[in-house]
């Protein structure tokens, strides 16, 4: 599995931003927050969260609204909204490009893009230093009728896999809790559980959920495609970059 490419904090105007490229999906995310909230949306004890998903072509449709509500509910559970009452955290996700074969695969396109949107928004939140309860990692699993499940398939792989029985999207918190599940197709509970375990294997690192010691996780960038390790690598590079003044030359 190819590891996503990320650029953090590259926009000048937004408080935090990230560009995320993976399997032909390219998304620009920006976070503004905490900022002043309109009277109508103000909540006395917590921050208001606003998510905007903008498609590459055309204006937002019900599909984008659906994605926004999924993201809103998932991100609400990891942002410490109670630490910033009566403010607004504004997340904008601009889809820059989709793989060419995206529409031809026949898979519900809300599901294929969802993990990428979740990762982009998390990275943008990290870049904006918004207080978070935990991190999240997310994954798409496609289960073809005739062969073994494919983890995080590219659209060409989906095309080649033939008829699909089911497609699942899972998102896990840093402590291995399941945050989000969206599934499409026909499957039994056992099949779902199998897919869920496979996703957990890739999304969460092998450790006990604690912070790894420096040294043993040094070469996380060249790893086996574990998403949490990848996320840690991204954050480590960001912190290294921000702390460079401390290290001297």
Partner 1 sequence: MPREAEISLNEREFIKQALQEQIRLDNRAFDAFRKLELTFGEEYGVADVQLGKTRVIARISIDVTTPLPERKFDGVFQIFTEFSPMASPAFEVGRPTDAEVILSRILEKAIRRSNALDTESLCIIAGLKCFALRADVHIIDHDGGLIDASCIAVMAALQHFRRPDVLVEGERATILSVREREPIPLSILHQPLCVTFSYFAEGEIFLVDANLAEEQVRNAEVIVTMNRHGEVCQIAKYGGVTVNPLAMLQCTNVALQKVKEMSKFIQQKLDEDAKRRDAGGLMAELSAENAR
Which is closer to partner 1, CB of 70 or CB of 227?
70
Q: Which stretch binds partner 1 (CB under 8 A): 24-32, 134-142, 189-197, 202-210?
A: 24-32
Query: Quick check: 69 binds partner 1 (CB under 8 A)?
Result: no
Q: d(Cα 93, Cα 87) in Å, to the nearest integer?
A: 20
**Interaction mask 75-104, partner 1, x per CB under 8 A:** -------------x-x-x-x-xx--x----
Burial of 94 (0-12, 13-18, 19+ CB in 10 A): middle
Q: Half-sphere exposure of 138 toward its Cβ, with a 13 Å CA cutoff?
A: 28
Which is closer to partner 1, CB of 52 or CB of 134?
52
For residue 16, the minimal CB distance to partner 1 (Å) is: 11
Listing DSSP states for 126-139 in one string gives: HHTT--BS--EEEE
Q: Which of 16, 38, 17, 13 is nearest to 88 (CA)?
A: 38
Q: Which stretch binds partner 1 (CB under 8 A): 27-35, 178-186, 209-217, 238-246?
A: 27-35
Which is closer to partner 1, CB of 10 or CB of 82?
10
Q: d(Cα 229, Cα 202) in Å, to the nearest integer?
A: 10
At residue 88, the 3 state secondary structure works out as strand
Which of 2, 5, 56, 82 forms a contact with partner 1 (CB under 8 A)? 56
Query: Quick check: 224 binds partner 1 (CB under 8 A)?
Result: no
Give the DSSP letter of residue 9.
Answer: S
Query: Quick check: 161 binds partner 1 (CB under 8 A)?
Result: no
Q: Which stretch binds partner 1 (CB under 8 A): 31-39, 76-84, 185-193, 236-244?
A: 31-39
Burial of 58 (0-12, 13-18, 19+ CB in 10 A): exposed
Q: Which residues bind partner 1 (CB under 8 A)?
A: 11-14, 17, 28, 30, 32, 35-38, 50, 52, 54, 56-60, 88, 90, 92, 94, 96-97, 100
């Amino acid at each position: 599995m190819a590891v996503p490419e990320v650029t953090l904090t590259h926009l000048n105007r937004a408080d935090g931003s990230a560009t995320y490229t993976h399997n032909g999906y390219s998304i620009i995310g920006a976070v503004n927050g905490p900022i002043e909230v309109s009277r109508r949306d103000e909540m006395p004890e917590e921050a208001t969260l606003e998510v905007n998903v903008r498609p590459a072509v055309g204006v937002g449709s019900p599909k984008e609204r659906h994605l926004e509500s999924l993201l809103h509910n998932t991100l609400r559970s990891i942002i410490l909204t109670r630490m910033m009452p009566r403010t607004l955290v504004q997340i904008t996700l601009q889809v820059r490009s989709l793989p060419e074969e995206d529409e031809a695969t026949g898979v519900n396109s809300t599901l294929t893009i969802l993990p990428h949107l979740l990762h982009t928004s998390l990275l943008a939140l990290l870049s904006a230093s918004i207080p978070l309860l935990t991190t999240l990692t997310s994954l798409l699993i496609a289960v073809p009728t005739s062969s073994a499940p494919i983890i995080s398939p590219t659209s060409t792989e989906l095309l080649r896999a033939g008829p699909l029985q089911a497609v699942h999207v899972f998102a896990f918190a840093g402590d291995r809790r399941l945050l989000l599940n969206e599934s499409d197709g026909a499957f039994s509970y056992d099949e779902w559980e199998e897919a869920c375990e496979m996703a957990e294997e890739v999304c969460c690192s092998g450790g006990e959920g604690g912070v790894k010691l420096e040294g043993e996780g040094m070469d996380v960038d060249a790893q086996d495609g574990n998403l949490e390790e990848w996320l840690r690598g991204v954050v480590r590079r960001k912190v290294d970059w921000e702390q460079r003044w401390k290290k001297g030359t």
